[in-house]
Amino acid sequence: MLFEQLSGIFTGLIGSTGYLGIFVLMTLESMVAPVPSELVMPFAGFLVADGKMDLLAVIIVSSAASLTGSLISYFIAYYGKRGMIHRFGKLFLLDKTELSWTEKWFRKHGDSTIFISRFIPVVRHLISLPAGLAKMRLSRFITSTLVGATAWNTLLLWAGVLLRENWNLVTKYSEGLDIAIVLAVLLGAAFVAWKHLNRHGRV
């Protein structure tokens, strides 16, 4: 199973490199890389419970990593060429009008959108891109990302501390929840696509 294979890789990396491994994995987790935080933070919690890591240090390292990965994605979109961004948007059936709406949305509701997205699988890997595209104020982006990421990381970390040797139960039960959330997001995306095609007379 893919999750089990990834779990072995990630726990091996953390076991051999410690805080550096957590930083690298959680940086990738906040970008488009397939690194679920549900496989990283609960194991770190187990190591905290086992006395091999410090709780506060793990929170600081994971939060810094989440912010680092998010900022990389943010700046890629922020400094991207407009023409390239518009072509990229077409892949998701977003025309210039809809991209303009996205920019306005993030200027007005960016803080809450970033915070909530940190708790949604898949979305949290991508949310920094539209924030950068909308040129959301950097201070607001950093604050919302730090608060949301720290809350989510700490929740998973504490679950690992409580479960100790059974830390992988977090992955087991969150996997089903993640699938349900992703399906809901996909249904929403399908609805947006249908509206887009309908408006342009393609259906």
Question: For residue 60, is pLDDT > 50?
Answer: yes
pTM for the model: 0.75
CA distance 180 to 99: 27
CA distance 42 to 168: 7
Share of the chain above pLDDT 70, in %: 66
User: Using N-to-C axis directions, what is the helix angle for 82-90 and 96-117, rounded to 10°?
Assistant: 80
CA distance 45 to 202: 51
**CA distances in angstroms from 170 to 46, 47, 102, 132, 165, listed in the order given:** 11, 15, 34, 32, 11
User: Would you say how long the chain is, in residues?
Assistant: 203
Highest mean pLDDT: which of 35-39, 81-85, 104-108? 35-39
Sign of CA dihedral 115, 118, 123, 128: positive
CA distance 93 to 98: 9
Domain boundaries, the chain: 2-199
Q: What is the pLDDT of residues 106-158, one digit of tens each?
A: 777 778 888 888 887 777 877 888 888 878 889 999 999 999 999 999 999 99
Question: For residue 73, is pLDDT > 80?
Answer: yes
Question: For residue 165, is pLDDT > 70?
Answer: yes
Highest mean pLDDT: which of 8-17, 62-71, 193-202? 62-71
Report which DSSP code applies to 94: -
Question: For residue 93, is pLDDT > 60?
Answer: no
CA distance 12 to 18: 10
Strand, coil or helix: what is 95?
coil
Strand, coil or helix: what is 16?
helix
